């Protein structure tokens, strides 16, 4: 089968589209999926570059990619909730117990797969798993956001931020978000009540007494976010561990999130899509042969929506 692999960590030049990669076999608690589409996330280039090699070393050569949608073609002996022919989506990166989704077939742990949303295409389904599960975990499990509360979502036009705005609005919260001026109309369409142009305005001078901050940016943005929270508020960051001293001084709970993609989260996400509560924005769809361009777009960090490889 065709697969996008690396033999060594590095820049975009280490990407190899190999034609004769052995098809993976579904292990006991796995399913084999014929991949229709696979989306890119920033973590894919971070894995390629070796940023995660201490925490999660790869056996090389390794197939890249996590987010996936497709059709189940084989089921492992203990994999119970899916059958051959099911239309599924989920996460199957090498660091999460899968065989890598930038390929014609992928083996995925059954616990990271669920039936795909009934609405929408394979491309749209493949764009959802990591960004959708990240937003749900932060807002529903860590922050436990309630109707009428105020939340600041950083990077509201990004993959995770755009999901988070929609989830927070469906709960009935007041949402402020940081985005560039070009994305103002988009984040307002998602429901944002207040938009702060991160290139021109200081969000920490404008917002006070917020119940929660969901940070998808990190660095200075995360540090300044403590100023926005009320005592007893919650900060969740997708990008590193918040400083515990700053958290203590501000009297808030601060969490560095590691997203866990589960069948339950994927089922909930599919329900939110099918009920029309959340929509995913896709910027670019390209074949595996154009994967280097796709990586470049994601690595630059300014795509206008998700970047998806259409494989079948
Ligand atoms: N911890 C985990 O388990 C986990 C899981 C998934 C993702 N992540 C991390 O979460 C981060 C976000 O992922 P993503 O998929 O949402 O990324 P993404 O889709 O690339 O989103 C980036 C967004 O951030 C905006 N942006 C850039 N600088 C900004 C700033 N200073 N203030 C406000 N917005 C800014 C960009 O807007 P413009 O283009 O308009 O500048 C863009 O809309 C990545 O670092 C990723 O690696 C962590």
Evaluate: CB of 161 within 6 angstroms of ligand 1: yes
CATH of domain 3-128+280-310: 3.90.180.10
Ligand 1, atom 22, residue with closest C-alpha: 158
Compute the distance from residue 303 Cα to the ligand 1 centre, in Å.
Answer: 10
Structural domain spans, the chain: 3-128+280-310, 131-256
Mean pLDDT is lowest, of 79-83, 186-190, 221-225, 258-262, for 79-83
b/e map 95-123, b = 16+ CB within 10 Å: bbbbbbbbbbbbbbbbbbbbbbbeebbbb
Total length of the chain: 312
- Percentage of residues in the chain having pLDDT higher than 90: 97
**What local confidence, expressed as pLDDT, does residue 194 receive?**
98
Evaluate: CB of 70 within 6 angstroms of ligand 1: no
Ligand 1, atom 15, residue with closest C-alpha: 159
Say if residue 80's pLDDT is above 90. no
Work out the angle at residue 207's Cα, subtended by the Cα atoms of residues 202 and 211, and round it to the nearest 5 degrees. Answer: 135
137: tokens are 């975990």
Ligand 1, atom 39, residue with closest C-alpha: 302
| Chain segment 241-273, per-residue pLDDT in tens | 999 999 999 999 999 999 999 999 999 999 999
Average pLDDT over residues 70-98: 95
Ligand 1, atom 12, residue with closest C-alpha: 216
131-256 matches 3-128+280-310 in CATH topology: no
Compute the distance from residue 83 Cα to the ligand 1 centre, in Å.
Answer: 35
| Chain segment 95-107, per-residue pLDDT in tens | 999 999 999 999 9
Evaluate: CB of 130 within 6 angstroms of ligand 1: yes
Compute the distance from residue 175 Cα to the ligand 1 centre, in Å.
Answer: 17
Q: Does domain 131-256 have CATH number 3.40.50.720?
A: yes
**What local confidence, expressed as pLDDT, does residue 78 receive?**
87
Evaluate: CB of 239 within 6 angstroms of ligand 1: yes
Q: In this structure, how many other beta carbons lie within 10 angstroms of the beta carbon of residue 13? A: 7
Average pLDDT over residues 15-33: 97
Phi, psi angles (nearest 5°) of residue 41:
-130, 160
Q: Choose among 117, 64, 111, 151: nearest CA to 264.
A: 111
Say if residue 79's pLDDT is above 90. no
* Spatial separation of the C-alpha atoms in residues 180 and 155, rounded to whole Å: 9
């Amino acid at each position: 089968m065709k697969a996008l692999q690396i033999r060594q960590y590095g820049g975009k030049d280490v990407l190899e589209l190999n034609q004769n990669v052995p098809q993976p076999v579904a292990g006991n608690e796995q399913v084999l999926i014929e991949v229709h589409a696979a989306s890119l996330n920033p973590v894919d280039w971070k894995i390629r570059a070796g940023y995660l090699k201490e925490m999660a070393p790869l056996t090389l050569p390794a197939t890249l990619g996590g987010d996936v949608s497709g059709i189940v073609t084989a089921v492992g002996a203990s994999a119970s909730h899916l059958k051959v022919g099911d239309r599924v989506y989920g996460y199957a990166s090498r660091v999460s117990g899968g065989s890598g989704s930038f390929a014609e077939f992928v083996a995925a742990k059954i616990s990271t797969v669920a039936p795909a949303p009934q609405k929408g295409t394979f491309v749209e389904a493949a764009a959802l798993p990591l960004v959708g599960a990240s937003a749900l975990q932060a807002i529903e499990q860590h922050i436990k956001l309630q109707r009428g509360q105020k939340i600041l979502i950083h990077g509201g036009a990004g993959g995770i931020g755009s999901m988070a705005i929609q989830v927070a609005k469906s709960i009935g919260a007041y949402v402020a978000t940081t985005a560039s001026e070009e994305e103002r109309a988009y984040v307002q369409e998602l429901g944002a009540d207040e938009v702060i142009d991160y290139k021109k305005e200081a969000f920490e001078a404008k917002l006070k007494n917020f119940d929660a901050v969901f940070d998808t940016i990190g660095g200075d943005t995360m540090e300044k976010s403590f100023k926005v929270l009320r005592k007893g508020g919650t900060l969740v960051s997708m990008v590193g561990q918040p400083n515990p001293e700053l958290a203590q001084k501000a009297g808030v709970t601060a969490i560095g999130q590691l997203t866990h993609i589960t069948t339950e989260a994927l089922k909930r996400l599919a329900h939110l899509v099918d009920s029309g509560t959340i929509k995913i924005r896709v910027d670019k769809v390209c074949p595996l042969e154009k994967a280097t361009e796709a990586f470049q777009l994601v690595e630059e960090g300014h795509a206008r929506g998700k970047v998806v490889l259409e494989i079948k």
